[in-house]
Chains A and B, each alone.
Chain A
């Protein structure tokens, strides 16, 4: 039996659903743009997934929050971004499948080692230059070293996706934290490097303009606080009086 989730709040109204589904359409177009972005060497290496749905987004948001508390430098930023993952209409995840498993072999010198990709090979179990991708043990946030040029390449993909969002007038913003959290949950599992793009179509573009202490003071928590205040202050003073008998405000 599928999970049946019941919650009083927030309401997912039909109009709300329509708006969200439109952003999924936009996300699909963004994914296409990411795939047609210029590729280093013309090689296919882009992986993408669209995450849509309250439960799925909540899982990514919680993983982001979990990561936030692993390191002081991440805490503030990751907590903010977890809220954005939760409140987005959809998430587009873009990853690079080659950065870990097959460096560019172009002697570019962009990574930390000698300009012959040996830095990546030497830090991997490999045989005849074929890297053993089954070894996924890692004690850092990312299993480095990655091919820096392919990391740069992922920027092209992300840029193209964002360009489409701009053309469609959809709010979108890329986040490291959301991509990493999603990757740890198994999204874009062929990629060592994933970027999460938050897509949203609301009157207020919160990802680009978050309030201070956004993980505490955000739209959801503000609405919830208003409900609480209305219950406490707005409704209770009127209890015990029949509103048809007279408006207390007029008597004041």
Chain B
């Protein structure tokens, strides 16, 4: 046996070259700096996936330039492929939309509110979130943090308040619609929180599977019901949203906790989604934690929200700095506590609670004591004594937070009657489910597919990520629904088009003009209930915007999705127009690759910027005396197989052994298997129809519906040739479908998002000449 396998050694060398090429691509000069280059390296057995697609096309007479890769592969000199691509669609996407975990088209619904179309505004939200009202009432609004007006020495648009205004003023919408689709498959969802309800909505309504939700609590809603106080999310709002989902035909079993996943499979469920949330308090682990008068935060919140009587004293200390701590503290005031303080071991900047929640807590008179670390809880003569040590923040640690140092001799005590420990939550350890968990009991599942290690079992939301926001749980529910549908044989396409297509604006308003129009306006102050009234019960403490306020506020929007470079190079006068065209086209095709190779429309500058990077990558290989070229056709197959997700333009750079003929003379001697096709082509090239001489092969303008003014080439050139070309054109479409179908097989094998083959067939058939 040789010291090393030469071919293996060469492959490893090529891998390093490919990595070097990737590095060069990243270092290429930028033109506009708005093209995020994505790269993947494909080598070894992965190449065989490509060959299977290529073979499917070749059977129908394709001339795939990647044939040479296969020849090299079979001869033991396989190339390493570097895929380089990017999303080069026109960009005027507003930062607020990018910031939204669920991808809600924020500027669009703001515009619709401004036009008085509240139903349509809610439909835009509902396209991405099946719980629009919940989202409007409790979302922490990451969109506002990225609002373009907020970055221009002004306050951000009150997006959250506008969203609430829309849901409060919209009609019932389409939520009462019952899904009539039925695939015969059944899905069990454990947990009726935001992730579970979202998955149930899509699995039932869009995918047509039977859905049963198992909820351990007596009421549905999960953390939305038992974790979020009623003064933030009124019960009737939640009831309305859940009722709309149940009306679709979703079954819910309350007070039901499955014994095991096996039992569910035995009951006939085809897939299970575990969305149990994070309902267990993390203990503080200090002496005295089990004393009477010391409560766990989630237990406390749950009891309050379910209307149980909670026994507590007049002086309350809440330990922790998260949203649960704020909610618990604010709840205690409403239950009659006289003196409430929050003890937090870090400073205000490192508090995980949302700023608004902290501000409201302070407004209500809650005292927040920073840099207090709890060391012990003692029973005192008057109640409880919380022993603390003062802390100071040191350098930033690996987790991005400062390292805490306790100050010696700074011991102090806080006298209270009740202590609520709110130092974090984690999922309940359900060992009977047999799922693998990490060190803090979070279920281990793929972050993209939500799949667990067990076949047919998926998990998402707080149970996987740890405590997060409602909108993030909704986003997880969407992902899970898509992948469960694919697991059950569907296409995993859950997006709905509920709002009417947007009209293309004639002109793009300049940012300056928009800014001038709204310069005099200020962000509306959110009116709150008088303090006494707010603390006397659990009424929603925020009043919504008035209609006048909402309409004025919409005019402050800088319409970040409308102002672009507007060069006209793509064929549209404004970038906005191009973007809407892009969106409408995706709606039309279900997001499939539209063309033979790539997905348009493209911004010519982004496409060019990607070209610079690709050229640098290819050149980098040459500088190391390794052969490379830029291939486009094989990229088609890779895109369709699901590689380079999110890219609209991809090229393949094969990095291979220095036998130039592999890559620079593709096809030589390897096309024998389709002599009939070659013979036919040779005839056409010998006697081309006249139009071909002018316009290139494959182009029949008339057939494609292009307005041709003068068909002067028809006689004396026989119609036979044109008919021949039609057949040829149709065979290209058949070949195209074969590539899609073969690529979908690879996606299925790899458990990647599936292609919408029926839709693709419909589109391709519509292009065929009759």
Binding site for B on A (CB under 8 A): 37-38, 40, 71-74, 99, 105-123, 127-130, 138-146, 148-149, 151-160, 162-163, 172-176, 180, 193, 195
Contact = CB atoms under 8 A, between A and B. Distances in A.
A193 to B, nearest CB: 7
A148 B581 CA distance: 15
Nearest to B581: A112
Contacts of A139: 568, 573
A159 B694 contact: no
A113 B600 contact: yes
B600 A112 contact: yes
Contacts, number: 225
A140 B615 contact: no
Contacts of A130: 694-695
A155 B563 CA distance: 25
A153 B611 contact: yes
A188 B275 CA distance: 61
Interface residues of B, number: 69
Contacts of A115: 594-597, 600
A213 to B, nearest CB: 17
A105 B612 contact: no
Nearest to B571: A145
Interface of B: 28-29, 31-32, 88, 510-512, 563-573, 578, 581-582, 593-602, 604-605, 607-616, 618-619, 629-630, 632, 648-649, 691, 694-699, 701, 704-710, 712-713, 732
A151 B608 contact: yes
B614 A155 contact: yes
Interface of B (DSSP majority class): loop
A156 B615 contact: yes
Contacts of B598: 108-110, 149
Nearest to A74: B565
B699 A151 contact: no
A109 B704 contact: no
A37 B570 contact: no
A174 B593 CA distance: 31
B511 A73 contact: yes
B704 A118 contact: yes
Contact of A160 (B571, B594, B619, B707): B619
A93 B704 CA distance: 36
A155 B710 contact: no
Nearest to A207: B29
Contact of B568 (A127, A138, A153): A138
A129 B567 contact: no
Contact of B691 (A99, A128, A154): A128
B612 A143 contact: no
Given A38-B630, A106-B596, A130-B694, A155 B564 contact: no
A108 B629 CA distance: 19
A113 B572 CA distance: 11
B485 to A, nearest CB: 27
B570 A105 contact: no
B616 A163 contact: yes
Contacts of A140: 566-569, 573
A38 B594 CA distance: 25
Given A116-B699, A152-B604, A155-B610, 17 more contacts: A105-B699, A106-B596, A109-B597, A110-B597, A115-B596, A118-B706, A128-B712, A139-B573, A142-B568, A144-B604, A146-B569, A151-B569, A151-B608, A152-B602, A159-B616, A174-B612, A176-B31
